[in-house]
Amino acid sequence: MKLSNRVLIAATICCALCVLLSTIAVGANQIAFSRIDPSNRLGLSQDLSHSVSSWAFLLYDLLHLFVIAVFALVLAQSFSWEAWMGGGASVVSTLADLASLSVSMFLLMAALRAMAEGKPTGLVTPESGYDVICSTLDFAQASFGLVGTLFLATAAMKASGMAKVVGWFLLISLPISIFQVAEVGMHTPWTLIVDAWVNPIDEIIQQIVIGLALLAILRRRRVPGLAKIGTLIIAD
């Protein structure tokens, strides 16, 4: 299935938006952490900067779903099974991350905010149940992300041009995916650094190289058309 130029352009624009959203999310998170301890969920639930960061990450996940699906379909044209496996696992990983973030934003934070305002929450300790749910979703996100990164890297490495560069980057970032699996359920200083800096920066670079790869595909498609038009003009 050959994707249209419009789909590729839309995916490229989404890559740029993903970079912007990730940058906003990292900056807003750091502003929130400069005022409130990262382990103080009650305080973070009432902080505007942390809310902005959460919404930015949520929108990032929604756009990233489209980007990763388009990139996997591009690779699937030549390297079918690796691209399908990598794209499918990456989509599941993003959906798990989206679900975990949604639980934190719309359930946990709402319950903690209600506690701070002295309103009934329905749970004596709302964090306990949500920690189990979020840890399960985080493990699904990390494990499927690891599988998706491995297979997408394999498919992209077989390609040429910028797609091959994406493959190299995914291969280099594989240890980060392993760290994500290892850190699930842990709340230590090094996991905070991974979550607050390493993962977002890795995602920003990933979106940049994927966007460049999609732009390269668009350029290759336009050059033959331009050459054909030039030939017709000369013939006339």
Report the Cα 176 to chain-centroid distance in Å. 13
- Total number of domains constituting the chain: 1
Region 140-167 average pLDDT: 89
Share of the chain above pLDDT 90, in %: 39
Please provide the average confidence, as pLDDT, over all residues in the chain.
81
Residue 150: give the domain boundaries.
5-235
pLDDT at position 14, please? 96
- pLDDT tens digits along 162-189: 888 999 999 988 888 887 777 776 666 6
Report the distance separating Cα 58 and Cα 98, nearest Å.
Answer: 6
* pTM, entire model: 0.82
pLDDT at position 132, please? 72
193's CB contacts (< 8 A; 6+ apart) are none
**Alpha helix segments (H runs only) across the chain:** 5-35, 41-44, 48-76, 80-103, 109-116, 126-157, 162-172, 174-182, 189-193, 199-235
What tokens does 10 get? 């839309």
Q: Which of 72, 91, 92 is nearest to 82 (CA)?
A: 72
Residue 234 has pLDDT above 50, yes or no: no
Residue 113 has pLDDT above 80, yes or no: no
Residue whose tokens read 């977002």 = 200
